[in-house]
Amino acid sequence: MSSHEGTEEQDPVTRYLRMLTELSDLRRRGGTLRFGLPSVTVSDIASQFYCERKVELRYTIGRIRTKEMMDGATRHVGLVERAAYEPPEKILRSALLGKPTWASEVFLLSKFRNVFVTGKPDAVVFEEGKPLRVVEYKFTGTKTPTHYHHVQARVYCLILKKLGLDTSALRYAIVLIPPDLVPDFRKISKLIVGETSKENVFLWDPDWERARAELDWALQYWRGEREAEPTTNRGRCERCEYREMCV
Ligand code: SF4
């Protein structure tokens, strides 16, 4: 398959705008996915690979915010708040025309197996009219990215491909930021666009087949084709804020 995965239209921004309209109509009419949702977020898809039952409990019981989550969210805002707000289609259009762009938290969407998948990657870096990096910051004590970090970044890459962007130069960067470190954004940015993984910045080529298989598995749940699967990792259960309610 070519690097342009889209088919019926050649202009990614036109395709993007058409999907925004379709999704907005669907939101008005009401969705047909689990919990009446019109779309699935990339963040939920990644969380399914941590524990799918936990994702379900968030919807049925409600989100329980832990102190770690609040701390992580505050630090995360510090890394992405530099972005000035502009409509996503304007950012995409100028990036695709060749303007070097660091697009923080730009809203992305595409449709897979007739399901809208949406999300805001921490950043997408564009150079020479192509997406060069999808970037995800993770505030964690782990030394290497975990599977669900990869899932999240890979699905964002897949969305860009499905929109019809030229993904021939695209890699993803997972930046692990230990809880006790004050991130140096300037230094991290240079590493992100570098050639090799260095320090806490991990660069990967997207594995398209794996991304499609992971997305297919995740969407089966949202389409009601199977029940939520609990994790088999007991350590995750011990740290889980839903453990008393999980049967
Ligand atoms: S207790 Fe374990 S299986 Fe249950 S929701 Fe939490 S992490 Fe998942």
pLDDT at 78: 63
CB distance 240 to ligand 1 below 6 Å: yes
Percent of the chain scoring above 70 in pLDDT? 88
pLDDT at 219: 98
> What is the CATH code of the structural domain delimited by 12-230?
3.90.320
pLDDT in tens, 167-224: 999 999 999 998 777 778 888 999 999 988 888 999 999 999 999 999 999 999 999 9
pLDDT at 67: 67
Distance CA 4, CA 161 (A): 6
What is the DSSP pairing of strand 39-41 with strand 115-119?
parallel
pLDDT in tens, 78-128: 666 555 578 889 999 999 999 999 999 999 999 999 999 999 999 999 999
Q: Which 3 state secondary structure label does DSSP give 182? A: coil
pLDDT in tens, 29-39: 999 999 999 99
Which residue lies with its CA nearest to atom 5 of ligand 1?
A: 54
Which residue lies with its CA nearest to atom 4 of ligand 1?
A: 246
Best probe residue, ligand 1, of 55, 59, 64, 231 (max atoms within 8 Å of C-beta): 231
Residue 112 near residue 123, CB atoms below 8 Å? no
pLDDT in tens, 211-235: 999 999 999 999 999 999 999 999 9
- Sign of the alpha-carbon torsion through 125, 127, 129, 133: negative
Distance in angstroms between the alpha carbons of the first and the last residue of the chain? 44
CA 240 to ligand 1: nearest atom = 6
Residue 120 near residue 105, CB atoms below 8 Å? yes
